[in-house]
Structure 1
Amino acid sequence: MQKLYIGLAWTVAGAVVVQAAAIAFAFGGMLNLVSEGGVVDKALLESYQAAGVGEPGLMIHGIVGGMVIPLVALVLLIISFFVRVRGAKLWAAITFGLVALQVTLGFSITDVPYLGLIHGANALAVVAAASIAALRVRRGRLAAASAPTAGEEATSDAVAA
């Protein structure tokens, strides 16, 4: 379960990187279209005829951010209840909460564009939380693997309490 947890946490972090790349591609394509005299409006976006101007980036951003990341974060939270490493549940819950906030902000940007500032900053928080979740469990696995067993004696000069 720990390997699955680590894999899911890294998947969330990696998917956020895909998000950033996709929206940068979409925005760059739109800027290219406008610089060549084109117009980006609702009709262009709804017609799905903007294929050469970054439209796939918008679709990737929407699908990965609206479905893939929330689903993986939810599975991470569920799996965290079966992982016996200190902090696994906490960091999975923090990651899931930040993802829920991210989705809410993403769908609210059309009404309040300034929320885009928080949306971008929160994406970094999602990457950080998911990375910490993965690293804590990995460190817990390594510590458990290197801990002395009941039959081994301590090699320290410390006085037993």
Structure 2
Amino acid sequence: MRSLFIWLSRLIALAVVLQVLFVAWGAFDIFKNAGDGVAFTEDTDANVGQMLHSVVGMMVIPALALIFGIVSFFAKVPGGVARAWITVGLVVLQIVLAFVSFSAPVVGMLHALNAFAIAGIAGMAGSRASRASSPDTSVAAPVGSSDPGVTAGA
């Protein structure tokens, strides 16, 4: 379960990176079309970048976050439950910020900042879980030795 926890955390962080790419694609597609004299309205044919941003943001990331939260109960990662459910909470906030941004576009900046928080918390959760699961390969220095390379009695 710990490895699933780690992979889910990485997938969430990767999905946030994809979101940035999709929204940039969508925005530049709108700019390109505007330059060609095509107006972008609610009636305009779908913008692929915006469509992907919506699907990943409304379906994929929330599903990954919810699974991440559930898996956290079984992964036995120190602090993992808290970090996973903070991630879930930030994803819920992200959706709320997205809807509010349609009425108050300046809130879109908080939507963008919150995306960084989601990626950061999810990434940190996976990183800490990886460190907690990797065996300690350091060798302790013998008692009485100030140099780790010196063996006892040498």
Task: State the TM-score, normalized to the length of structure 1.
Answer: 0.83
Please give the per-residue CA displacement for 1:79-134, whole angstroms capped at 9, x wherever unaligned. 00011221111110111111111111112211121110100011111110010010
**Does residue 12 of the first structure (1) align with residue 5 of the second (2)?**
no
**In the alignment, what sits opposite 1:59?**
51
Q: Counterpart of 1:3 in structure 2: which amino acid?
A: S
Q: Counterpart of 1:96 in structure 2: which amino acid?
A: V
**In the alignment, what sits opposite 2:74?**
82
* Separation (CA, whole Å) in 1 of partners of 2:93 and 2:125: 18
* Separation (CA, whole Å) in 2 of partners of 1:130 and 1:114: 26
Q: Counterpart of 2:108 in structure 1: which amino acid?
A: G
Shift in alpha-carbon separation, 1:112–1:85, aligned structure 2, 3 A: same
SS at the partner of 1:85?
Answer: coil
Q: Counterpart of 1:146 in structure 2: which amino acid?
A: D
* Separation (CA, whole Å) in 1 of partners of 2:62 and 2:42: 27
* Separation (CA, whole Å) in 1 of partners of 2:142 and 2:69: 38
SS at the partner of 1:42?
Answer: coil
Q: Counterpart of 2:37 in structure 1: which amino acid?
A: G
Q: Counterpart of 2:17 in structure 1: which amino acid?
A: V
Please give the per-residue CA displacement for 1:117-160, whole angstroms capped at 9, x wherever unaligned. 10001111111001001001000001xx3389xxxxx76427xx
User: After TM superposition, which residue ranges in structure 1, 4 or more long, deviate above 6 angstroms?
Assistant: none
* Separation (CA, whole Å) in 1 of partners of 2:98 and 2:117: 15
Alignment of 1:4-153 (within 5 A): 4-44=4-44, 48=45, 55-142=47-134, 145-146=135-136
SS at the partner of 2:50?
Answer: helix
* Separation (CA, whole Å) in 2 of partners of 1:111 and 1:65: 18
RMSD: 1.7
SS at the partner of 1:109?
Answer: helix
* Separation (CA, whole Å) in 2 of partners of 1:42 and 1:85: 45
Give aligned pairs, total: 143
SS at the partner of 1:41?
Answer: coil
SS at the partner of 2:103?
Answer: coil
* Separation (CA, whole Å) in 1 of partners of 2:77 and 2:19: 29
Determine which of 139, 143, 152 is the counterpart of 1:157.
Answer: 143
